[in-house]
A and B are shown apart, each in its own frame.
Chain A
Amino acid sequence: AQTVTQSQPEMSVQEAETVTLSCTYDTSESDYYLFWYKQPPSRQMILVIRQEAYKQQNATENRFSVNFQKAAKSFSLKISDSQLGDAAMYFCAYRSYHSGSARQLTFGSGTQLTVLP
């Protein structure tokens, strides 16, 4: 079974600064997908960014980018120019490429990000 570890329960960043959230995972599979989801207080979880394991190029979505290190099984999220609206719980998630288990997202325990004005 796959596991996802987020070792930072809480992080804080000054507005306009850059912050990196870490995520590591354990899998024996070679093909899989990785996601970062954001869950703001009292609002629904939304997808921030996703990465296919077979792609070497790191995914980027505006101010959000990832550092995907397949050999190290690491998938960190970098938020540049942090904004107050970035304050949320961030979950790293893994999904198998294969059917059957592909139905399930395995989530990490989350990192609570505070943005300081």
Chain B
Amino acid sequence: DAMVIQNPRYQVTQFGKPVTLSCSQTLNHNVMYWYQQKSSQAPKLLFHYYDKDFNNEADTPDNFQSRRPNTSFCFLDIRSPGLGDAAMYLCATSRDYATGMNEQFFGPGTRLTVL
């Protein structure tokens, strides 16, 4: 089945130790998104790629970076995780956004714990 896969599902890191979360998709979608979701809150968009075109949200901290080496894969790098970065990180894809009805398909998320 075509899907959005996130690895690992659970990640524990230490305060200040860089961490990378990965997302892959078999849907061949042009757009890939990274969201941060803190406990009992709405997902918050961090950034997205349209193909290789990177789009950062204005309030995304510089501590967060992303890479998309090819259509299928996208990575979220947190350079120096702080306690406040502990959250669920959701990856999503959509075919494009030429029309707003384009559905976003979500992965299961990676739960990040910062010790």
Select which of B45, B101, B106 is within 8 A of A46 by beta carbon. B106
Q: Mark A40-71, 1 if CB is under 8 A from B, else 0.
A: 00111111001010000000000000000000
Interchain CB contact under 8 A, A44 and B42: no
Tell me if B43 counts as interface (CB < 8 A to partner A): yes
Q: Mark B13-32, 1 if CB is under 8 A from A, else 0.
A: 00000000000000000010
Interchain CB contact under 8 A, A105 and B45: yes
Q: How far is the CB of A44 from chain B (nearest CB, A)?
A: 4
Q: How far is the CB of A104 from chain B (nearest CB, A)?
A: 6
Question: Which residues of chain B are near A95, meaning CB under 8 Å?
Answer: 100
Interchain CB contact under 8 A, B42 and A91: yes
Task: Say whether, besides A43-B108, A44-B4, A32 and B100 are in contact (CB < 8 Å).
Answer: yes
Chain B interface: which size bin?
A: 20 to 34
Closest to A32 in B: B100
Interchain CB contact under 8 A, A107 and B103: no
Greatest chain B CB density within 10 A among A32, A104, A109 is at A104
Question: Which residues of chain B are near A96, meaning CB under 8 Å?
Answer: 100
Tell me if B97 counts as interface (CB < 8 A to partner A): yes
Tell me if A99 counts as interface (CB < 8 A to partner B): yes
Residues of A within 8 A of B (CB): 9, 32-33, 37, 42-47, 50, 52, 91, 95-99, 102-105, 107-110, 112
A-B contacts, 28 of them at CB < 8 A, read: A9-B40, A32-B100, A33-B100, A33-B101, A37-B106, A44-B90, A45-B43, A45-B90, A46-B106, A91-B42, A97-B100, A98-B100, A99-B97, A99-B98, A102-B97, A102-B100, A103-B31, A103-B48, A103-B97, A104-B45, A105-B43, A105-B45, A107-B43, A109-B40, A109-B41, A109-B42, A110-B41, A110-B42
